[in-house]
Structure 1
Amino acid sequence: MKRIFLFLAMSTLVLSCANSQKTGDSMAEKSSKVDYPEGVVPVSEIDAPYQDLSKAVFAGGCFWCVEAVFERVEGVEEAISGYAGGTTPDPTYKKVASGMTDYAESVIVYYDSTVVSYEELLTAFFSGHNPTQLNRQGPDVGPQYRSAIFYANTHEKEQAAAFVEKLGASGKYDKPIVTKLSPLGTFYTAEGYHQDYIVHNPNQPYVVGVSMPKIEKFVKAHPELLKSQYRKP
């Protein structure tokens, strides 16, 4: 009975990413370089400040969590939440969250490859979610929360495939890795209020109950990848 009561209490406290709502009437911009639109646009319309950087795209459940993990990595200049892996027109949060599109909640990472490598980004990615859960992450269920790597070229595809094979053979997981490797199509930014969501909504129940434990797990596992402000003394 105690276990059932605890489950019900946690279910009430921790909403899914799709059911969690923006808190507050406004949100500060997360970067002085980019003016994030309120609506959804192809990322190519706003990423001019990052054209000299390398980029990579990942999906691992709710994009708030994935974005926050990457923004803690040394060498990452920007991480933008959005939608990737789909072909249907005009993706929006409401449409994607319904599970009725072929998009996944994703994050595009702009990084300095002289500071952090693609392989190190893969390390951060797999440390920030459970790659053995098929079409879900914790309370978030559906293909929009799938684990995926969207490669831009053959080199990224080969690196990602080799990393997954090595990780699967390491014995770290007792279930097969289900992360899907897919070619990168158009990446759409998520609506403005999703950007840097955890920074602006630190007390939101989903953030407290789901996001922060994932982030803390990554921080503890890979302090060598962290920006100085996130390293513990």
Structure 2
Amino acid sequence: MKKIVPLFIIALLFSCNNSAQSINPKQKAVIEADPIEVPVKDGKARAYFASGCFWCVEAIYESVKGVEESISGYSGGFTENPTYEASNTGRTGHAEAVEIIYDPNVVSFATLVDVYFGSQNPTQFYGQGPDRGSQYRSIIFYQNDEQKKIIEDKKAALAKQLDTKIAAEVYPFQKFWVGEDYHQNYERRNPNQGYIRAVSIPRLRRFQAKFPHLLKKGEKH
């Protein structure tokens, strides 16, 4: 217990930001919009997920075979050019999200959704771990009807398996705003930062232990 308590305190002190986000009526238009499909480029497709602090999520997806890159940013809101500071006020509508650039011949969208649900607490609403507020809410973005069905089927199956409501919202993809440079590859570049040690790395390790068959060669698990 002497080791666990300090880590918990560090997690609270160094969490992304724990401000709450208010609900804006403009969010309804975002949820009801037609999805925008991002074309495959140079054989690579793109998928978009929000699952708490993007420092954690970025590293999880980059450990998966077939994923070329994970980019941290913002999506799901109604304001233009969101920033980290603006997002954390709770007034942009955006959630911290990641853009996953992947080879669909190696890893499918359905598997990326499995990674999504398998790397978080799927029953925690408006946050993950110590990060609370709707800027940390769970959202899966779909680009077409096929993706929407995959998401909804997996979400329903998980709800039945756990016998509880699943927190993830399902949004039509509209736009992804790339985050500030200092957020990119944050866990890799800052392995000794307090939040990374207390929250991000343990979350990554839990995922890797559950899905060793999905990991790139040489990834620790």
TM over 0.5: yes
Report 1:119-198 matches (<5 A): 119-171=110-162, 175-198=164-187
Question: Does the 8 Å contact 1:83/1:106 carry over to 2?
Answer: yes
2 CA distance for matches of 1:12 and 1:134?
22
Q: How much does 1:18 deviate? A: 2.6
- The equivalent residue for 2:30 is none
Q: CA RMSD in A?
A: 2.3
Q: How much does 1:153 deviate? A: 1.1
2 CA distance for matches of 1:191 and 1:18?
16
1 CA distance for matches of 2:80 and 2:155?
31
Report 1:1-233 matches (<5 A): 9-14=6-11, 15-18=14-17, 51-171=42-162, 175-230=164-219
Cα 1:91/1:57, change in 2 over 3 Å: same
Q: Normalization by structure 1: what TM-score?
A: 0.80
Q: Secondary structure at the match of 1:229?
A: coil
- What percentage of aligned pairs have identical amino acids? 42
2 CA distance for matches of 1:65 and 1:117?
21
Residues 55-82 of structure 1 deviation map (CA, whole Å, 9 limit, x = unaligned) = 1100000001111000000000111000
1:188 corresponds to which letter in structure 2? Answer: W
Moved over 6 A (4+): none
Q: How much does 1:227 deviate? A: 0.2
2:16 corresponds to which letter in structure 1? Answer: C
Question: Does the 8 Å contact 1:134/1:178 carry over to 2?
Answer: yes
Question: Does the 8 Å contact 2:139/2:168 carry over to 1?
Answer: yes
1 CA distance for matches of 2:161 and 2:39?
40
Q: Secondary structure at the match of 1:228?
A: coil
Q: Secondary structure at the match of 2:123?
A: coil
Q: How much does 1:175 deviate? A: 3.6
How many residues align structurally?
A: 200
Q: Secondary structure at the match of 1:220?
A: helix
Question: Does the 8 Å contact 1:223/1:231 carry over to 2?
Answer: no
Q: Secondary structure at the match of 2:15?
A: coil
Unaligned 5+ runs, structure 1: 20-46
